[in-house]
Amino acid sequence: MGATKGHSFKFTQKALRNIDYLLPKLKFSVMPSKIVRWLENFEEDDLKYAYDFLQVFEYINFNEMQYRLEDLLKKIFMDLHNTDNALVIPYGKFGKSGTLVTYPLSHSPFYLELEKKGRIIIKKDLKKLDVESYNCIILIDDFIGSGKTFCDEYRDEGIEKWIKNRSKLPKVYVLSTVIMAQGRKKIEDTFKYIKVYAQERAKIFDKSSSPLIALGNFEKHKINSRKYEQRIKVSQDYLGGYKDSQGLLAFSHGTPNNTLPLFWWGKNWIPLFPRRAKTRMDEAREFKKSIAFYIGICNRLGIDLLSLEEYKQASNTVKVEDQRKYNNKLHHSIIALLKLKLEGTEDYIICHILGLTDNELDEVYERSRKIGFVDLSRRLTSKATVYFNNLERRISKERSRNETEQNLKPKELIYIPKTFEGLT
C-alpha cells in the first residue's frame, strides 16, 4: 500500500525559507523536494513538530565521519605508550557498517602516519593473527545503539575468546562515531575491561538532556512521534527506533534502525533517510530520470552542453562539438557528476546513485577532466561551476515559458550554490 499525504504542502515564502534554513543543517544531503514530500506525511497542525525534529537531526557525511574517527583515534593513542601498537578489528559480518567504516579511518592522515611507523593495522581474520603481537585491540563501528548487537557479536564471532587467549589481557577499546548512552552502559557493564571512545548521544525523549527541550512543547514531540508510529503500524521492536533507542541521526551510507522510524520507515510512509535497499535503488532510478530530463530539454533547445554561449564567454578553452546528442550513458553521467559534486557527494555514493563501477567512474572523471570540469585531484574547477549555473539558468527559462497553475508548483527544487570554494 502506498503512502498517503497528511496534507498538501503550501509553497509560501515562509515555508520555503524554513526549508532553505534546514538544508545546511542536513548538509544538503537531501533535495528540498524530498523534504517537502516527507513533511506531507504529517497533518498540517503537526508540521511544527516535524520541523523541530529536522532542526535537531544529525546527519554525518563521509568527511565528518572521517574527522570524528581520526579525532577519537588520537585520543586512544594518547592513552597508550609511545611504543604500543594497535590492531583495529571491524566487528560484525562483512559488508556491515563495521567493515565499511574502516575506509575513512584508514585514509585519515593520523592513521596513515601511524601505519608508516608500524604502529597500527586493520585486520578481520583473527585466525591468521597472533594476539600476543598487539598491545592494543580497537573494535570499530560507525554507530552503536542499544549495545546488544555489539555484545552478541563480540562473543559469537569469537573475538572475546581470541583476546582472552593472550597471556596478559591487552588494552581493549571500542571506537565508534556515535554511541547511544544506553549502548555505552551495556558494553562497559558487560565487559569491564573495555573502554569506549565515541561521541555519546542520549535518547531524544530523555528529559534530562534532549535538545528538543530548548524548542519547547517537549512532551508533545513524543506524543506526535508515537501517534504516527501507530498510524503507519511500526512493529513493536522498532517503536522509537530499535529497542526504543530513540536515535536521531543518519550517515551518507545508511540510516541506523535505532533512529526514529519516522525518518526511515518505508511502509505507508515516505521516508527522508530510507534504510531499505529497494527504496534507495528506486530513488537512484528517479534521480537518473531527472538528469535525463535535463539532457532532453537541452536537446530540444539545440544547446551544446559543453559549449553554452555564456560559458564560452567565461572561458575559450572548451572545444566546441557540433550537433552532439546527449542521450548516451557517458554524457548522462557527466551532468550527473557535476550536480552531485556541487552537492558535496562522495565518490562511492556517486557510483551507487549512477550505477557505475569504479572503472566507469574513472572514465567519467577523465572525460570531465579533458573538458576542464575537474582537475587531476578530481576537484571541480571554476569552469564547471560557471557552466552548471548557466545551464540551470537556461533550463529554468525554458521551463517558465508555458506557465500554468500546475507547472508553477515546485516539483523538484534544486540547490545550486552561488559560490564553490570561494569562486562565483
In which band, very low, low, confident or very high, does the pLDDT at 112 lie, cut at 50, 70 and 90?
A: very high
Whether residues 352 and 374 share a domain: the answer is: yes
Whether residues 133 and 197 share a domain: the answer is: yes
Whether residues 254 and 314 share a domain: the answer is: no
| Better-predicted residue by pLDDT, 325 or 108 | 108
Task: Please report whether residue 71 resides in a domain.
Answer: no
Whether residues 226 and 121 share a domain: the answer is: no
Task: Please report whether residue 384 resides in a domain.
Answer: yes
For position 238, what pLDDT does the model report?
A: 94
Task: Please report whether residue 124 resides in a domain.
Answer: yes
Name the residue among 351, 334, 344, 352 with its Cα closest to residue 291: 334
What is the average per-residue pLDDT within 73-100? 81
Q: Annotate 344-378 with DSSP letters as a single string.
A: T--HHHHHHHHT--HHHHHHHHHHHHHTTSB-TTS
In which band, very low, low, confident or very high, does the pLDDT at 412 lie, cut at 50, 70 and 90?
A: very low
In which band, very low, low, confident or very high, does the pLDDT at 196 lie, cut at 50, 70 and 90?
A: very high
Mean pLDDT of the chain: 80
Task: Give the start-end residues of each E strand in 258-409.
Answer: none
Whether residues 395 and 335 share a domain: the answer is: yes
In the listed set 234, 255, 275, which residue is the last one of a domain according to the structure? 275
For position 292, what pLDDT does the model report?
A: 58
In the listed set 254, 275, 296, which residue is the last one of a domain according to the structure? 275
Task: Please report whether residue 406 resides in a domain.
Answer: no
Whether residues 137 and 177 share a domain: the answer is: yes
| Better-predicted residue by pLDDT, 416 or 339 | 339
CB-CB contact of 202 with 247 (8 Å): no
| Better-predicted residue by pLDDT, 10 or 401 | 10
Whether residues 85 and 140 share a domain: the answer is: yes
Q: How many domains does the chain have?
A: 3
- Residue 31, pLDDT above cutoff 80: yes
Whether residues 224 and 243 share a domain: the answer is: yes
Quick one: cell of 298? 537541452
In which band, very low, low, confident or very high, does the pLDDT at 11 lie, cut at 50, 70 and 90?
A: confident
CB-CB contact of 175 with 72 (8 Å): yes
Whether residues 129 and 223 share a domain: the answer is: no
Task: Please report whether residue 2 resides in a domain.
Answer: no
Task: Please report whether residue 102 resides in a domain.
Answer: yes
Q: What angle do CA 321, 323, 328 make, to 5 degrees?
A: 90
For position 281, what pLDDT does the model report?
A: 58
Whether residues 345 and 389 share a domain: the answer is: yes
In the listed set 275, 297, 329, which residue is the last one of a domain according to the structure? 275
What is the extent of the structural domain holding 167? 79-201
Residues 6 or more apart from 140 whose CB is under 8 A from it?
69, 88, 89, 90, 91, 98, 101, 102, 105, 174, 175, 176
Whether residues 256 and 286 share a domain: the answer is: no
Task: Please report whether residue 74 resides in a domain.
Answer: no
For position 28, what pLDDT does the model report?
A: 86
- Residue 397, pLDDT above cutoff 90: no
Whether residues 390 and 282 share a domain: the answer is: yes
Task: Please report whether residue 421 resides in a domain.
Answer: no
pLDDT digits (tens, 9 = 90+) for 120-153: 999 888 888 888 889 999 999 999 998 988 999 8
What is the average per-residue pLDDT within 243-270? 92
